[in-house]
Structures are given as structure tokens and as C-alpha cells.
Amino acid sequence: MANGFKKRQCYFCAENIKCIDYKDVNLLERYLSQYGKIVCKRRTGTCARHQRMLAKAMKRARHIALLPFVVR
């Protein structure tokens, strides 16, 4: 790359994870910011497919109160 940055590889593709489970709170918390927002794929390096699956799993986990909507 011209600017010296190396593109991150998707964690889920590298680990061959087919489905992201909404009950795996430890995994989902890795992709939350300190304010409780979903971190963008540019920052985490996840591919578009897994980013969509990740967002859906986080929203499900929030709905049943496994993850917070807002962090104070």
C-alpha cells in the first residue's frame, strides 16, 4: 500500500466462523466502543458480510438486555 497501512483481516473469516451468536457477549463487547456504539468495519477490519451479522447479533443482544443500549 502507498500510505504504509496494512489492511486488517476479518477475524471471523480467519477463524472460519459461519454464524455470530448473540449470546456470546464477550465476543460482541470487543466490537463496542466505550460509549456502547457499534464500531465501524474500517476500524475493526471485519468484512461487510460479517459486519452485518455482527450488527444484527448486537441488536438482538441489546433487545434481550445482554448488552447495554447506552453506557454512562
Tell me phi and psi for residue 43, to 5 degrees: -80, -40
Q: Is there a domain that residue 39 lies in?
A: yes
User: Average pLDDT over the chain, rounded to whole?
Assistant: 91
Q: Is there a domain that residue 1 lies in?
A: no
CA–CA separation, 66 vs 49, rounded Å? 23
Structural domain count, the chain: 1
Of the two residues 71 and 33, the one the predictor is more confident about is 33
**With bands split at pLDDT 50, 70 and 90, how would you rate the model's confidence at 2?**
low
Q: Which domain holds residue 17?
A: 11-63
Q: Is there a domain that residue 69 lies in?
A: no
What average pLDDT does range 57-70 have in this prediction? 94
Q: Is there a domain that residue 6 lies in?
A: no
What is the value of pTM for the model shown? 0.84
Q: How many CB atoms lie within 10 A of CB 52?
A: 13
Q: Which of 3-7, 47-51, 68-72 has the lowest mean pLDDT?
A: 3-7
Handedness of CA 35, 39, 44, 49 (dihedral sign): positive
The domain that holds 47 is classified in CATH as: 4.10.640.10
